[in-house]
């Protein structure tokens, strides 16, 4: 399958503090910041949405989806993309949409007399030990059973964090800290499961293709870290696409079957030199470098477009830099190496030891996505990117457009236009990935079972009907100016 639909679902960490006064003596008070509970913070964050549509689930005019997930985490799902570059652009657009939402929520709290600070993190763990995800979706054929996909992908997914981990400062029982490769590794257990919160599998087995179920399966990969560096995301998506193509072509990587995948993924995470010891079912001991180099040689012939060729070259660059212990070669490109550089430089400059609590604070600050209207970044990664210390693939004009414009070569093009027209005409409608219903028109439902379909006469007819009927009202939903919702 050369043309494949791909998408990302990103859950964000959220914290909101409000300024209150605290009496410390008769007639004397001081200002204190009070943190809101998770549920209250999430409701405040989504007030701009619920004020418009009385729901925390919104399909956007760019074809994506904005909603509150389990655990009160704001989540953004990209529209369907058939090009890796488009997916990178729409992933970054999701960050901007979330940042805009936080800014508007802050303004609404201000109208209520509350002074608030909203912090939004694109990371995967919080200080209480909870983990939340960055999930990848790949459209694959029904011809191969799920167990075949899982068995063939597991060695790659376990070792892949060396290529695209976001880095995590982990403090041991002795109080000393160490930078692991991945945020999610310590929370993953089974290669496959139908749950998403208890066992946290590498691949989720729920059969929800959001497409014709006789033809397609949606491979729901749960093991990845949320990426901020665009080259890291290119490598994550491109390397996985290459492995999927190899599996479809008959490669099963049975010689790399791991004896204990859940132990192996933690072993990989602990070693930034790529030399963790992993035992295979055969009894052979290999390293993550061995696994990734072996897989790279197999998938190399499948790199047949610009994005995949670039991903393959990045793959080789990372393996070489790690093998030679020369992380400076990738410190502008790969999230964990960028974070490593920032943290080591700060520790040296301020004479910090590995026991300093400041390093954990730096780890968190890396993931703050707020940029502000004047383009001054608050997060450490965002600041490094704005300052020119990290390389990027998508320019801000592309990202700005992606906030409000769907991908023109997938089903997102149809859904985005339907949503935009319905909101502009004040229509009563419901929407999901496959189906759109205009509830105030008879026979107002269209079904779109093919994610690669971007032309549909039934959609065009419904668009014309929504525009042709007298408008009940002009909607002021979030489609004015460059607002995406």
Identify the helix (H) or strand (E) that includes residue 180. Answer: strand 177-180
Quick one: tokens of 198?
Answer: 């208890």
Dig out the tokens for 475 from the structure. Answer: 């909607």
| Burial of 346 from C-beta contacts in 10 A (0-12 / 13-18 / 19+) | middle
DSSP H or E segment with residue 94: helix 84-111
Q: Are 438 and 462 in contact (CB under 8 A)?
A: yes
CA–CA gap between residue 338 and residue 327 (Å, rounded): 9
**How distant, in Å, are the alpha carbons of 101, 104, 405 from that of 479?**
13, 14, 11
- Which of 23, 130, 134, 123 is closest to 78 using CA atoms? 134
Q: How far apart are CA 334 and CA 182, in angstroms?
A: 12
Using DSSP, how many helices (H) and how many strands (E) does the chain show? Answer: 15, 18
Annotated catalytic residue, options 39, 69, 100, 304: 69
Is 86 part of the annotated catalytic residue set?
no
Question: 10 Å Cβ neighbour count for 405?
Answer: 21
Q: Please, is 53 exposed, middle or buried when counting C-beta atoms within 10 Å of its C-beta (0-12, 13-18, 19+)?
A: middle
Catalytic residues: 69
């Amino acid at each position: 399958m050369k043309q494949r639909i791909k998408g990302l679902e990103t859950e964000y960490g959220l914290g909101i503090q409000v300024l209150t006064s605290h009496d410390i003596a008769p007639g004397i008070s001081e200002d204190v910041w009070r943190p809101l509970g998770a549920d209250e913070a999430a409701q405040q964050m989504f007030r701009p949405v619920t004020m418009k549509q009385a729901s925390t689930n919104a399909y956007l005019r760019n074809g994506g989806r904005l909603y509150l997930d389990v655990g009160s985490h704001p989540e953004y799902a990209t529209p369907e993309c058939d090009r890796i570059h488009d997916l990178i652009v729409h992933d970054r657009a999701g960050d901007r949409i979330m940042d805009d939402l936080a800014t508007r929520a802050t303004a609404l709290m201000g109208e209520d007399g509350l002074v608030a600070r909203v912090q939004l993190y694109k990371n995967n763990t919080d200080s209480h030990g909870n983990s939340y995800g960055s999930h990848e979706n790949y459209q694959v054929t029904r011809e191969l059973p799920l167990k075949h996909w899982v068995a063939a992908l597991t060695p790659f997914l376990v070792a892949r964090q060396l290529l695209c981990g976001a880095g995590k400062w982990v403090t041991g029982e002795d109080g000393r800290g160490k930078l692991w490769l991945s945020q999610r590794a310590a929370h993953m257990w089974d290669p496959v499961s139908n749950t998403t919160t208890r066992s946290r599998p590498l691949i989720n087995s729920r059969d929800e293709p959001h497409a014709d179920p006789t033809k397609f399966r949606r491979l729901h990969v749960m093991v990845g870290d949320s990426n901020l560096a665009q080259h890291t995301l290119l490598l994550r998506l491109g390397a996985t696409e290459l492995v999927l193509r190899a599996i479809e072509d008959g490669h099963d990587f049975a010689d790399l079957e791991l004896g204990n995948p859940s132990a192996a993924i933690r072993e990989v995470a602990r070693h930034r030199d790529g030399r963790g010891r992993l035992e295979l079912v055969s009894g052979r001991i290999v390293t993550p470098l061995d696994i990734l180099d072996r897989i790279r040689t197999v998938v190399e012939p499948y790199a047949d477009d610009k994005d995949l060729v670039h991903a393959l070259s990045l793959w080789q660059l990372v393996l070489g830099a790690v093998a030679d212990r020369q992380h400076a070669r990738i410190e502008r490109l790969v999230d964990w190496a960028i974070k490593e550089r920032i943290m080591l430089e700060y520790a040296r400059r301020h004479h910090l030891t590995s026991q300093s609590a400041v390093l954990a604070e730096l780890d968190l600050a890396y993931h703050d996505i707020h940029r502000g209207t004047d383009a001054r970044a608050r997060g450490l990664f965002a600041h490094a990117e704005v300052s020119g210390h990290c390389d990027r693939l998508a320019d801000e004009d592309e990202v700005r457009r992606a906030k409000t414009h769907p991908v023109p070569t997938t089903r997102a093009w149809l859904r985005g236009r339907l949503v935009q027209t319905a909101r502009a005409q004040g229509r009563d409608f419901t929407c999901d990935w496959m189906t759109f219903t205009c509830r105030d028109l008879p026979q107002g439902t269209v079904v779109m079972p093919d994610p690669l379909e971007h032309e549909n006469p039934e959609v065009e007819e419904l668009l014309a009907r929504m525009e042709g009927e007298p408008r009940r009202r002009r909607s002021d939903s979030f489609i004015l100016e460059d607002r995406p919702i």
